[in-house]
Chain A
Amino acid sequence: MSLSEWSMKDLKVWDDKIIDIAKNHGLDWFDINYEICDYYEMIGHMSYHGMPSHYNHWSYGKTFERTHLNYNMGQSGLPYEMIINSNPSIAYLMMQNPLYLQILIMAHCVGHSDFFKNNRCFKDTDPEHVVSRMRNAKKRIQSYIEDPSIGQEKVEAFLDNLHAIKYQTNRYGTPRKTRAEVKDNEVKRYNKYKEKGISLDYDSLDTKRLLKPDHDMLSFFTEYYPDQFKNWQLDLIEIVKHDSWYFMPQIQTKILNEGWASFWHYKILHELDLPDSMHLPFLKMHNAVVRPHLGGVNPYHVGFYIFQKLEKEFGLEKCFEVRNTHDDVAAIRLYLDEEDFRELNFFAYQNEKDGSAVVSEVTDHDDWKVVRDEMIRNTGINMIPHIYVDRVESDGTLVLKHEHDGRDLELDYADKVMDHIREIWDKEVKLFTIIEEEIWEI
């Protein structure tokens, strides 16, 4: 065990400087609580997305094992920085890191926290209460596990089912009418017609009458068919749904969030007057973080590129505007042009049946647009197929549809997910999708 070359006091001294610089630039972030931990604890927190408290499930144990294994095999480093969207933000600093790296991380975290606090996508994530909310959820789930009439097996199996569709919930943060609101509207409509002396051809507002295609499968279950579930199951659905809602903005803004944080650690560290002994390793680390990944898309790289470009072409104010309003898809569409795609030399590739991948488009001629569109389809929520509730048939069959955008579902997986949905829904479940240009029912 090596003793650190730095003390808590050093961290405070540098943090004060970072705060001054960041404030001067107009950054506005949540206070940050830094926790110093060792690498093992770091992996532990990573497995739960950094949440200080999160409900238990074997899948997080699996994540831990995999991260730990990869780390020990040298296959991957650990993320140097981890910060959660809460007020105050909680960030972890690994004991083993040298001082220059801690400084970089603290500056980086200020960028993230500022992004969490100001970006539009995060407005409903309730950072004030997320920590206690998750702690309470954990406690409730634990109580279901300890309840002899429920127990670990049932809770675990139901969570398995829910995890299979956890992202099939309000994807874009767009307003969705709840069942109560839909009913309200219908009642108003009914009364309006009645005043005019016209009687509509229905006599009751039952669930089936109210149900329209619903893009939030999890809410659909709890709002329209609560009687199918026991109270603990309804609670689990709510917990998983809120988990997804909380994390979805981070999926949506990975590039901009990392870009913004990198943009700011770079700026702040240049203004910090670091001694050479720290400045040189800092530059080296920074370059490693934002380097392009050959054959892949490094969000740090693309995000940093976008903000640097915006600052150069439109000034810092524009950067703040983008930080406020956009998600990754919008930013790629609006701010990366033909020249950028050439410069970054992105290409699109097709996966072949034999496991190989062949370049299908490069950025010459008009093909750059194809490459861009493919990049957009591989960004954020677009990576996750969109399945929605189409209707419930009179015999109770749940009919789901896949919003097909040219990409076919992986059938093996779809089959398995359908098994999970059939565990949730007590009647028949059907899914319609398109496979190789033909309609397919699963």
Chain B
Amino acid sequence: MSVFKNHKRVADRSASDRRRHKEKIEKAIKEGIHDIVAEESIIGQDGKKKIKIPVKGIKEYQFIYGTGKGTKGVGSAQGQDIKKGQVVRKAKQKGQKGKGKPDKPGNTSGEEYYDVEVSLDELAKYLFEDLNLPELKKKQNSVVTSEKVKRKGYRTKGINARLSKKETLKNKIRRKNQAIKNGTFDPESGERFPFHEDDLKYKHIAVTKKPITNAVIFMIMDVSGSMTKRKKFLARSFFFLLYQFIRYRYQNIEIVFISHTTEAKETNEDDFFKKASSGGTYISSGLAKAEQIIQERYSPSSWNIYTFHCSDGENWAEDNPKALDKMRNLVNISQLAGYIQIKRTQDKIWGEEMAKIFEPLISDKFKIVNLSDKKDVWPQFSKLFGGKYELI
């Protein structure tokens, strides 16, 4: 006796296992990101730029046979002519990619790579989720909540009025082409290729609420001759992270870019990240410039001020007392100030390094960060803003 019944709907039984799987992938993405945040190619790009991150698949390993000598496969070629020595599968071309297929040429073990394509904006989301600007305070006429209604991509669920016919049709065509390619659908057969529930795409409208706080960030960078290309690159990586972080996390935060040699000047974002310079160093010049701009435009009574200064630790000795003095002033009026010294331990420095000079200032409001390598950028950055990495 057979029994027929409508399936008793269990609430989406694999939901929790899918969530765990997703968490694992996200973790892998995050780990992958940390390796690429200091890649040259992403520095100075805008938020729409797509970056490919190879994320190792969450693989389940078992003992399997390799593809060496002695391991053969068997196939059928019924009704076809087949000869010894015939190539039945072509060699992978270098750089050839397929969905979910191994990406590394010559890697026969089939390492599963998810080539996750993320925009810088999404990257920022993964990176900066847990980080915060410390000590952000209400200042005069400060916290207002802004509400914005924005078209924001597409969703698979929605009301009919928001059905996107274009996206829906695109999905169906995509699916159909794939099916033809894979031989599961024959276009000649005259059969309909129906829309599928999963094809449906709805326009999504999101309301975003963000508190507006008056805050300004000063990014001060030493671009003197002693800042080698490598050091400048590290400084830029750090500032670039900072810039993306702020852009992602806060609305209406102003950013002031200052680059200096013996003299300082305010620059725009583009020049700051891209332009090279040379000459001697007065650390104080950059700090003085910041102080001047604060006086002119950002009264500490109504602005949260953050100041970060990147240099290689070298300064002309006669400038040291002045630099310390200026930094002290800035620390006093800032919510947080940071000095980022880019120096490998083996790098020799004439005279005393700036990190030493600034040491007496260290407090909750003033941090010194040392970057010696690309690898340091993310952990140090994260630590500065309350992430989980320990300062080394």
Total A-B pairs, Cβ < 8 A = 265
Q: How many residues of B contact A (CB 8 A)?
A: 76
B149 at the interface (CB under 8 A from A): no
B2 at the interface (CB under 8 A from A): yes
Residues from chain B with Cβ under 8 Å of A62 in the complex? 17, 21, 58
New A-B pairs, 17, CB < 8 Å, besides A351-B67, A352-B91: A33-B2, A35-B8, A36-B4, A64-B14, A77-B184, A156-B20, A297-B76, A345-B76, A345-B80, A349-B74, A349-B75, A349-B89, A354-B91, A358-B86, A413-B62, A435-B68, A436-B68
A146 at the interface (CB under 8 A from B): no
Name A's interface SS: mixed
Residues from chain B with Cβ under 8 Å of A44 in the complex? 12-14
Q: How many residues of A contact B (CB 8 A)?
A: 98
Chain A contacts with B in 150-168, Cβ cutoff 8 A: 156, 160, 163-168
Other-chain residue from B2, B63, B181 in contact with A31 (beta carbon distance below 8 A): B2
Write the nearest CB–CB distance from A76 to chain B, whole angstroms. Answer: 7
Q: Is the CB of B88 within 8 A of A295?
A: yes
Q: Is the CB of A48 within 8 A of B13?
A: yes
Residues from chain A with Cβ under 8 Å of B18 in the complex? 61, 64-65
The docked-state distance in angstroms from the alpha carbon of A416 to that of B99 is: 24
The 8 A CB mask of B134-151 against A (1 = contact, 0 = none) is 000000000000000000
Binding site for B on A (CB under 8 A): 1, 8, 11-12, 15, 19, 31-37, 40-41, 44-45, 47-48, 56-62, 64-66, 72-77, 88, 92, 106, 156, 160, 163-168, 292-298, 301, 343-362, 371, 374-375, 377-378, 383-385, 387, 402, 406-414, 416-417, 420, 435-436
Residues from chain B with Cβ under 8 Å of A19 in the complex? 2
The docked-state distance in angstroms from the alpha carbon of A214 to that of B99 is: 41
Binding site for A on B (CB under 8 A): 1-9, 12-14, 16-24, 58-80, 82-92, 99-100, 105-106, 108-109, 111, 174-182, 184-185, 196-198
Write the nearest CB–CB distance from B156 to chain A, whole angstroms. Answer: 11
Write the nearest CB–CB distance from B111 to chain A, whole angstroms. Answer: 8
The docked-state distance in angstroms from the alpha carbon of A355 to that of B184 is: 25
Q: Is the CB of A375 within 8 A of B82?
A: no
The 3 closest A-B pairs by CB, nearest first: A74-B179, A61-B17, A61-B18
Q: Is the CB of B21 within 8 A of A88?
A: no
The docked-state distance in angstroms from the alpha carbon of A164 to that of B68 is: 22
Q: Is the CB of A417 within 8 A of B63?
A: yes
A-B contact pairs, 21 of them (CB 8 A): A33-B4, A34-B5, A61-B14, A61-B22, A66-B100, A73-B174, A75-B178, A294-B75, A295-B88, A296-B75, A344-B76, A349-B73, A349-B75, A349-B88, A353-B106, A358-B87, A374-B72, A375-B74, A384-B62, A408-B68, A410-B64
